[in-house]
Amino acid sequence: MLDICYLISAYDPDFFKHNYKIKYVRHKDSREQYRKVTQNYIDEKSLFAYQEDQPNAVFKNIDYIISFVGLDGTKALFWSVFKVGQVTLTPSNSFFYELEEVKIFQDLKFRVVVEWGKATLRWHQYLNEHNKKQLIEVYPPGYIGNFPGYDNIILSFAQLERLVQNQDANKDWFYALSSISAVYLICDNSNGKQYIGSAYGNKGGLWKRWTDYVYTKHGGNKQLKTICEQNENQHLNFTFSILLILPKGMSSKEVCRYENLYKEKLGSRVYGLNSN
């Protein structure tokens, strides 16, 4: 039975020849404040911050960590490999590790499922010849992870682009997003300004509307179009999430009523990116 080290060696034949001190890490946290971080692993920024800050010196004298997110039972989904750098003791007495992702393994990210083993409570374990993480499944290229549920969606533009361009590899996302109407939020992370829009109609639902953004960058919206024309990379600051899920058959008039309600609640006309 093949294990994760076989795949890592296929991408970097010399990785295990340097006698590095390596740990396997499996992130699955049941605590309320961290549960969504480890479940919604497509939000890599939050997951990375969670991994960097540790209450104990778990990565002391470690050269690399091979990180996973916990799935159901004793399964784990490969995330990436990280080089462990300097560690700093924070004011709250936690340990902040400088971690650098090893980019050569990008193609395997969130695609490889392994058997972690019975000792799932041991979320960090030394890599050695007696500790194998056997391969269970390899998802197709372009896969961005299991659909996390509507409330947990926070997609960067880059993630949305990868999702739309790899529809066959992410069929659960496609079916979920194309089956609803919705009021959605776009946040420009460079300045915090918000745009609220809606998707309705029987042809493609929210999937079709978000696909428009992938190919136009601005979706035809007045202010978004203006800022994208001023800066060709502005769209890379956009994150997409859902404010309200609505039945696909709801009339456009009713959907727009809910859209306008959220514009009023969040002030996106006065302080954000909505013009009407």
**119: pLDDT strictly greater than 80:** no
The pLDDT assigned to 100 comes to 97
What's the pLDDT tens digit per position in 79-112? 999 999 999 999 999 999 999 999 999 889 989 9
**33: pLDDT strictly greater than 90:** no
The pLDDT assigned to 29 comes to 82
CA distance 138 to 145: 12
**68: pLDDT strictly greater than 90:** yes
Q: How far is CA 246 from the centre of its chain?
A: 24
The pLDDT assigned to 116 comes to 95
The pLDDT assigned to 37 comes to 77
Phi, psi of 77 (to 5 degrees): -110, 125
Cβ within 8 Å of residue 82, ≥6 positions away:
51, 64, 65, 67, 99, 100, 101, 102
Cβ within 8 Å of residue 253, ≥6 positions away:
none
What's the pLDDT tens digit per position in 173-208? 999 999 999 999 999 999 999 999 999 987 899 999
Domain 150-266 class in CATH: alpha beta
Count of CB atoms situated within 10 Å of the CB of 99: 17
**41: pLDDT strictly greater than 80:** no
Q: Is 223 exposed, middle or buried (0-12, 13-18, 19+ CB in 10 A)?
A: middle
- The residue ranges of every structural domain in the chain are 4-138, 150-266
Taking phi first (over 0 means left), then psi (-120 to 50 degrees means alpha), and beta for anything else, what does residue 161 get?
alpha
N-to-C CA span, the chain: 59
Return the structure tokens found at 205.
Answer: 């639902």
pTM for the model: 0.72
Instruction: Please answer whether residues 272 and 215 qualify as being in contact, where contact means their C-beta atoms are separated by less than 8 angstroms.
Output: no
The pLDDT assigned to 255 comes to 96
The pLDDT assigned to 228 comes to 95
**21: pLDDT strictly greater than 80:** yes
**142: pLDDT strictly greater than 90:** no
How distant, in Å, are the alpha carbons of 28, 68, 115 from that of 74? 11, 12, 6
The pLDDT assigned to 217 comes to 95
The pLDDT assigned to 103 comes to 94
How distant, in Å, are the alpha carbons of 4, 96, 109, 125 from that of 58? 22, 11, 23, 10
**31: pLDDT strictly greater than 90:** no
What's the pLDDT tens digit per position in 212-233? 999 999 999 999 999 999 999 9
- How would residue 60 be classed by pLDDT, with cut points 50, 70 and 90? very high
3-class secondary structure, 78: strand
The pLDDT assigned to 175 comes to 96
- How would residue 118 be classed by pLDDT, with cut points 50, 70 and 90? confident
